[in-house]
């Protein structure tokens, strides 16, 4: 049996819509009929075939890892799922044997695989993942939002790393995950939620999602905004989503003594940090990778069910056959989340 899939066919820029073998689930796997997917920044890296992709992707590979689908079939050892059930899935497939896995900290597994990066992905009509990675979705949750639960999980894991309730939050980098972090910080009861970026388009979306003040750092200085807001000691919690050295530097300078910083953005260049400032201010810095397995999945679903509204984040929708248009828009940077529809033969 063949199916449609978006394939990184060769070691060069671009993607191809191809007919490939429909995957067959092993004894502990589920077969998922994909309904909707969302495009991640990682997919754009792979599309562009940048240095990171060249080091991590072995073509040919079906890419994609943000999806919602329905159970179509399952292996003989799988329990607790039924055909037709709506599901999403954790994209990191962990070894289950290392110390972190055995302690319930799978996000730090030393031997994990990634859906759509190191094993076949979700930009396809069907996907196979281990049943243990499959997440049942409760009725009534917007499937378009579920399509990017994997990314929302990154935002949730980062935004909930430190106690942000009643605190002042700085979010550097208003890409889709930064925008989601704005929405989460607001939802859980932060006071000032300040987002920085270089793009007015993205800051506009961040504002729609819940940023209380946006700062285009090409025109405004963060320290002026801190003063304008009447903050006397600095931000309590920083969420670094940009991977830009200058953003991290400005964050460290804008934190109050004893503040906490969660780092999600990957840095293309190595920052030269003022370590004395970090030490003397007593700052905490924590790297964030993936989603807590599986605590983050419960928390994000609960937040969506309790009113976290992420619809404004979705700016474009395309049938999967029009993936080229979707990636072209992604490249401009003027987009929130872009949904690819897989539910009907296009
Ligand atoms: Zn992603
Ligand atoms: Zn492990």
For residue 112, report the distance from its CA to the centre of ligand 2, in Å. 6
- Asked if residue 132 belongs to a domain, the reply is yes
Would you call 42 a catalytic residue per the annotation? yes
> Is there a single domain that holds both residue 164 and residue 140?
no
> Is there a single domain that holds both residue 64 and residue 144?
yes
Query: What local confidence, expressed as pLDDT, does residue 271 receive?
Result: 87
The CATH number given to whatever domain includes residue 190 is: 3.40.50.720
- As a whole number of angstroms, the distance between CA 37 and CA 65 comes to 8
Q: Burial code of 43-56, b = ≥16 C-beta within 10 A, e = fewer?
A: bbbbbebeeebeee
> Is there a single domain that holds both residue 249 and residue 119?
no
> Is there a single domain that holds both residue 175 and residue 280?
yes
For residue 160, report the distance from its CA to the centre of ligand 2, in Å. 23
Strand partners of residue 73: 31
> Is there a single domain that holds both residue 6 and residue 141?
yes
- Asked if residue 303 belongs to a domain, the reply is no
The reply to whether the predicted model has a pTM over 0.75 is yes
Give me the tens of pLDDT residue by residue for the chain, a chain 346 residues long: 999 999 999 999 999 999 999 999 999 999 999 999 999 999 999 999 999 999 999 999 999 999 999 999 999 999 999 999 999 999 999 999 999 999 999 999 999 999 999 999 999 999 999 999 999 999 999 999 999 999 999 999 999 999 999 999 999 999 999 999 999 999 999 999 999 999 999 999 999 999 999 999 999 999 999 999 999 999 999 999 999 999 999 999 999 999 999 999 999 888 889 999 999 999 999 999 999 999 999 999 999 999 999 999 999 999 999 999 999 999 999 999 999 999 865 4
The CATH number given to whatever domain includes residue 97 is: 3.90.180.10
Q: Nearest ligand to the C-alpha of residue 107?
A: 2
> Is there a single domain that holds both residue 7 and residue 77?
yes
Q: Report which of 178, 261, 191, 257 is spatially closest to residue 229, judged by C-alpha positions.
A: 191
> Is there a single domain that holds both residue 72 and residue 174?
no
For residue 290, report the distance from its CA to the centre of ligand 1, in Å. 9
> Is there a single domain that holds both residue 47 and residue 144?
yes
Query: What local confidence, expressed as pLDDT, does residue 44 receive?
Result: 97
- Asked if residue 299 belongs to a domain, the reply is no
- Asked if residue 293 belongs to a domain, the reply is no
Structure tokens at 102: 């055995």
- As a whole number of angstroms, the distance between CA 294 and CA 67 comes to 17
- Asked if residue 194 belongs to a domain, the reply is yes
Query: What local confidence, expressed as pLDDT, does residue 162 receive?
Result: 98
Question: Can you give the residue range of the structural domain that contains 183?
Answer: 153-287
For residue 66, report the distance from its CA to the centre of ligand 1, in Å. 6
> Is there a single domain that holds both residue 157 and residue 283?
yes
Give, in order, the Cα–Cα distances in Å from 199 to each of 27, 204, 240: 48, 9, 16
Q: Nearest ligand to the C-alpha of residue 99?
A: 2
Q: Nearest ligand to the C-alpha of residue 104?
A: 2
Query: What local confidence, expressed as pLDDT, does residue 346 receive?
Result: 43
Cβ of 265: how many Cβ atoms within 10 Å?
A: 21
Would you call 45 a catalytic residue per the annotation? yes
> Is there a single domain that holds both residue 131 and residue 159?
no
> Is there a single domain that holds both residue 31 and residue 129?
yes
Number of domains present in the structure of the chain: 2
Longest dimension (CA), the chain: 64
């Amino acid at each position: 049996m063949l199916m449609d899939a978006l394939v990184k066919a060769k070691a060069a820029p671009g993607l191809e819509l191809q007919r490939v073998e429909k995957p067959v689930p092993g004894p502990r796997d589920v077969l998922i009929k994909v309904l909707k997917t969302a495009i991640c920044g990682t997919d754009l890296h792979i599309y562009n075939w940048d240095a990171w992709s060249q080091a991590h992707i072995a073509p040919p590979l079906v890419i994609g890892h943000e999806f919602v689908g329905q159970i179509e079939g399952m292996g003989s050892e799988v329990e607790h799922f039924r055909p037709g059930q709506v599901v999403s899935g954790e994209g990191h497939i962990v070894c289950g044997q290392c110390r972190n896995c055995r302690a319930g900290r799978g996000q730090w597994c030393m031997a994990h695989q990634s859906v759509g990066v190191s094993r076949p992905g979700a930009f396809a009509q069907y996907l196979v993942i281990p049943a243990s990675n499959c997440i049942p979705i409760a009725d009534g949750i917007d499937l378009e939002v579920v399509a990017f639960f994997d990314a929302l999980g990154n935002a949730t894991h980062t935004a909930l790393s430190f106690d942000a309730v009643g605190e002042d939050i700085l979010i550097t980098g208003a890409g889709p995950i930064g925008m989601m972090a704005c929405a989460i910080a607001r939802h859980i009861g932060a006071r000032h939620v300040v987002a920085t970026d270089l793009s007015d388009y993205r800051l506009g979306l961040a504002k729609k999602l819940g940023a209380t003040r946006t700062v285009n750092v090409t025109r405004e200085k963060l320290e002026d905004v801190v003063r304008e807001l009447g903050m006397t000691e600095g931000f309590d919690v920083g969420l670094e989503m940009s991977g830009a050295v200058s953003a991290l530097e400005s964050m460290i300078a804008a934190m109050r003594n004893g503040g906490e910083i969660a780092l999600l953005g990957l840095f293309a260049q190595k920052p030269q940090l003022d370590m004395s400032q970090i030490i003397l201010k007593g700052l905490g810095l924590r790297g964030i990778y993936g989603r807590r397995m599986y605590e983050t999945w419960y928390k994000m679903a609960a937040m969506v069910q309790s009113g976290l509204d992420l619809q404004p984040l979705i700016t474009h929708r395309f049938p999967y056959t029009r993936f080229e248009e979707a990636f072209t828009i992604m490249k401009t940077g003027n987009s929130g989340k872009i949904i690819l529809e897989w539910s009907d033969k296009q």
